[in-house]
Chains A and B, each alone.
Chain A
Amino acid sequence: MMRENKRRELIKSEFLKHLKDVYNLCLYLTRNREDAEDLTQETFARALEYIDSYTPNTNAKAYLFRIATTTFYNNQSKSNTEQNHLEFRSFTENDGSEIIGRDLTLIEDEEERFIREYSSREVERLLLNLSFEHRSILILADIEEFSYEEISKILNIPIGTVMSRLSRARSALKKELLKREETIRRESNGENIVRLDRESFVNNKLRN
Chain B
Amino acid sequence: MDCREVKRLITLYVDGELDASENRDMVEHISMCESCYFAVRSERFVKRLLKKSLNYEEPPLGLVSRINDMYEEKKSIFPVLFRFAPALLLVFFLALAFYHKMNQQRLDNKIFRTITNPPLSASVSDVNKFFSIFKNSTDRLFINKNSSPNIKFVGLRYNRFEDRDAAHIYYNHKGRNISVFAISGAINDKIFFTSLKPYKGNSFITSRDGKNLLLSSDKDITYAVAGDADENELYEILSSLR
Contacts and interface: CB of A to CB of B under 8 A. Distances in A.
Interface string A160-172: 0001001100100
Interface string B44-78: 01111111111111111011101110110100000
A206 B53 contact: no
A117 to B, nearest CB: 10
Majority-rule SS of A interface residues: helix
A208 B43 CA distance: 9
A115 B48 contact: yes
Contact of A170 (B43, B55, B62, B73): B43
Contact of B60 (A37, A170, A177): A37
B10 A120 contact: no
A174 B46 contact: yes
Given A143-B51, A167-B10, A12 B71 contact: yes
Nearest to A159: B17
Contacts, number: 107
B39 interface: yes
Contacts of B17: 147-148, 163
Contact of A118 (B10, B15, B53, B83): B53
Majority-rule SS of B interface residues: helix
Given A111-B41, A167-B10, A16 B83 contact: no
Contacts of A133: none
B34 to A, nearest CB: 9
Interface residues of A, number: 49
30 contacts: A1-B83, A12-B71, A15-B71, A20-B56, A21-B56, A23-B59, A27-B57, A37-B63, A41-B63, A41-B66, A44-B67, A44-B70, A44-B71, A115-B52, A118-B49, A120-B55, A139-B50, A142-B47, A143-B54, A145-B51, A148-B15, A167-B11, A170-B46, A173-B46, A173-B50, A177-B49, A205-B42, A205-B45, A206-B42, A208-B39
Interface of B: 10-12, 15, 17, 35, 38-39, 41-43, 45-60, 62-64, 66-68, 70-71, 73, 83
